[in-house]
Amino acid sequence: MKNNLLTEKLAYNGESRTKTHVHLLRYTADRFEESLCDDFTRFESGKDPAEKLWVRVHGLEDAACIQEVCTRFGVDFLAVQDILNVDHPSKVEVFDDYNFLISSIVCHDRTSRVRLVQGSNFVLSFSEGESAFYDGVVEALRNNVLKIRQRTSDYLFSVMINELTANYISVAMSIGNDLDDLESELIAATDSRDVGARLQNSRRRYMELKRIVLPLKEQYMRMLRSDVGLIREENLPFFNDVNDHLLHVSQLIDSCRETFSSLMDLSAANNDLRMNDIMKRLTIVSTIFIPLTFLAGVWGMNFRYMPELEWRYGYAMAWCVMLAVGVAAYFIFRTKRWR
């Protein structure tokens, strides 16, 4: 990783090739406008002081475009670097003019980065691809659900963070359900060949979720304790609710960690039992054939005077004796329940 303090060049380091484009949402209590915007002069607020902006940026490939959008709203150069750096861990930062949040959206086996910036009358959201993740929030603004358009930008910010925490709770519960299914299979000792692979896949999802959520939980309270005033007192209950959700996700993650530990032990115990069962079967087969091998060895010795060799029914009798010994050994083991 290069030292970002030694360069003035901005570059996106992710793999998404979604062309950078901007959706501009302008709204007041009585009006809502949505447009695809490539003219950055439209970012300027209108004459209505009650107007709020939500700038949705999809695709981070065009670093110059990202920088221009951020410059319009006074976002610091280092924050722009963090927006373009997909390897940056989750964090929350509080500046004089805006709050800045870095996180990710977890969708099945894919993780998409998201960055949120909240100012006094605007919210900026940056996503790697053409994400429909916040379409429900757009619909709520369009229909003025719970009078969301009358509220300030920090309320919209809390709703967007709440969407993220809802995503994390959903993923954590999905991992928990998968672990419950694996636990049932391991307890039943079913001969499922893909249990180990599924366990590792769930563990990978768990580690990714943990990497996203824990830094966010530790730093989230920075915004609520800030004296800058971007979070209004009447909206603090909504942010506290988000904090409760983060704590809930953290508890689910801890529960998954304990379950993983017990499942790994259970899986190892099942493998030992399966190996012991295989060795037991091989031992039984070997034990049955040991007396047969002894008899074959006796009758296979090249002594000149061996009565059975001259006997007319010696061959048939040898087969009968060996079969009788083998069947007797089989029933003895079965009577003892193969112990």
CA distance 91 to 215: 6
Assess whether pLDDT exceeds 90 at residue 161: yes
pLDDT for 1: 54
Residue position matching structure tokens 């993780």: 111
Among 257, 90, 83, residue whose Cα is nearest residue 176: 257
Q: Are 297 and 214 in contact (CB under 8 A)?
A: no
Residues found in the chain: 339
If one compares 311 and 106, the residue with the highest pLDDT of the two is 106
pLDDT (tens digit, 9 = 90+) per residue, 29-61? 999 999 887 666 566 655 677 899 999 999 999
Which of 240, 239, 171, 235 has the alpha carbon at shortest distance from 208?
Answer: 171
What's the pLDDT score for residue 89?
A: 93
Residue pLDDT, tens place only, 183-216: 888 887 766 667 878 888 888 999 999 999 999 9
- CA-CA distances (angstroms) from residue 212 to 49, 105, 171? 37, 9, 12
Instruction: Note the pLDDT tens digit of each residue in 164-181.
Output: 999 999 999 999 999 988
Percent above pLDDT 90 for the chain: 50
> Sign of the C-alpha dihedral, residues 256, 257, 262, 263?
positive
Identify the band that residue 77 occupies on the pLDDT scale cut at 50, 70 and 90.
very high
